[in-house]
Structure 1
């Protein structure tokens, strides 16, 4: 469950950001940075 929870927390901002009207690279970079910090 911890694995799925961590994935959810990393993909949720990307999903919400991508669905928003003001999609920017910040969401993608934030997600990549979070994965790099693993």
Structure 2
């Protein structure tokens, strides 16, 4: 995967940690930033 893609995904992840939307949680896989695990309540 290209570096800009990794940087964008990491930036998005940091933003989710800093200001998570209500009822939503998402984290990337430990081995692959392209695979995310999400929880949506509602």
Is the structural similarity TM-score above 0.5?
no
Which one scores higher on RCO, CA 8 angstroms, separation ≥ 6?
Answer: 1
Larger Rg: 2
Q: TM-score, length-normalised on structure 1? A: 0.43
Q: TM-score, length-normalised on structure 2? A: 0.42
